[in-house]
């Protein structure tokens, strides 16, 4: 069973809506990630937080806004999305450093209408 | 050139077969290497880490060749439950995990 919990599991939103995706882990990990995955494609990195600070932003459009309120929580705020933003959004966490594996949540399946 | 390249397959094999997947990476500064497994509409799950000395976990063997920038995964005695997409993952600087496109395995009875 995953120890990274994402809510909600499914989300349908209009292009003018504002919504947030939430992610929580209690493994003491200090690196947390957001990935986007389209059907039949691999996960694509969006953001990395290290010690609650944004360390990597893969040129993601500003309609996606990440937030890391504390070491256990990661949010992704969504505003004015487009239908092509419909995808599976995956949160992951790992120990800090480049030699440790990442653990993924079950994802939020987002549909933008 | 993509940072991580894999043969997308699909690999269609009978139960009991041995199957091998390959992966190459372009950045020689890559620091760590993993195989993940992803079932349809599920999250990726860590299968195993990959070391230069090679490592084995039951029916699964992974190998890293840093000189050739090549990673492999061998599955022996394939089971129906092994059917999934196998993702090669490489860590670059600063926790940047990069995924290959994935290799689809279908094990048939």
The pLDDT, as a whole number, for residue A87 is 98
Q: Which residues of B touch A (CB under 8 A)?
A: 31-32, 34, 41-46, 49, 87, 91-102
Residues A35 and A42: their CA atoms lie apart, in Å, by 10
Residues B26 and B34: their CA atoms lie apart, in Å, by 15
Residues B53 and B75: their CA atoms lie apart, in Å, by 18
Residues A23 and A19: their CA atoms lie apart, in Å, by 14
Residue A84: CA count within 13 A, CB half-sphere: 2
Reported confidence tier of residue B52, pLDDT bands at 50, 70, 90: confident
Start-end of H helices in B1-109: none
Report which of B96, B64, B67, B79 is spatially closest to residue B17, judged by C-alpha positions.
B79
What pLDDT, in 10s, does the model give residues B6-33? 988 899 999 999 999 999 999 988 889 9
What pLDDT, in 10s, does the model give residues B92-106? 877 889 999 999 999
Mean pLDDT in chain B? 94
The pLDDT, as a whole number, for residue B31 is 86
Reported confidence tier of residue B2, pLDDT bands at 50, 70, 90: confident
**Contact flag A101-B44 (C-beta cutoff 8 Å):** no
Low-confidence ranges of chain A (pLDDT < 70): 1-2, 98
Q: With a CB-CB cutoff of 8 Å, which residues 53-112 of chain A face chain B?
A: 55-56, 88, 90, 92, 94, 96-107
The answer, yes or no, to whether the previous bond of B10 is cis (omega within 30 of 0) is: yes
CB B98 within 8 A of CB B3: yes
Report percent pLDDT > 90 for chain B: 83
Residues ≥6 apart with Cβ < 8 Å to B68: B24
Q: Which residues of A touch B99 (CB under 8 A)?
A: 42-44
Structure tokens at B8: 């997308």
CB A96 within 8 A of CB A35: no
Residues A35 and A44: their CA atoms lie apart, in Å, by 5
The pLDDT, as a whole number, for residue B1 is 77
């Amino acid at each position: 069973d995953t120890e990274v919990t994402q809510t909600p599991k499914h989300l349908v939103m209009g292009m003018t809506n504002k919504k947030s995706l939430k992610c929580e882990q209690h493994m003491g990990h200090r690196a947390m990630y957001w990935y986007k995955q389209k059907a039949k494609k691999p996960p694509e990195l969006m953001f990395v937080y290290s010690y609650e600070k944004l360390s990597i932003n893969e040129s993601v459009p500003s309609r996606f806004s990440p937030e890391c309120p504390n070491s256990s929580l990661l949010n992704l705020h969504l505003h004015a999305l487009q239908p092509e933003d419909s995808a599976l959004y995956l949160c992951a966490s790992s120990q800090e450093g480049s030699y440790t594996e990442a653990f993924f949540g079950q994802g939020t399946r987002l549909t933008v209408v | 050139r993509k940072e991580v390249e894999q043969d997308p397959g699909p690999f269609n094999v009978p139960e009991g077969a041995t199957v091998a997947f390959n992966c190459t990476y372009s950045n020689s500064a890559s620091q760590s290497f993993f195989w993940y497994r992803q079932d349809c509409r599920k999250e990726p799950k860590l299968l195993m880490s990959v070391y230069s000395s090679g490592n084995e976990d039951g029916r699964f063997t992974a190998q890293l060749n840093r000189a050739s920038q090549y990673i492999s995964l061998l599955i022996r005695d394939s089971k129906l439950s092994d059917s999934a997409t196998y993702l090669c993952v490489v860590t670059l600087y600063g926790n940047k995990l990069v995924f290959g496109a994935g290799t689809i395995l279908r094990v048939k009875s």
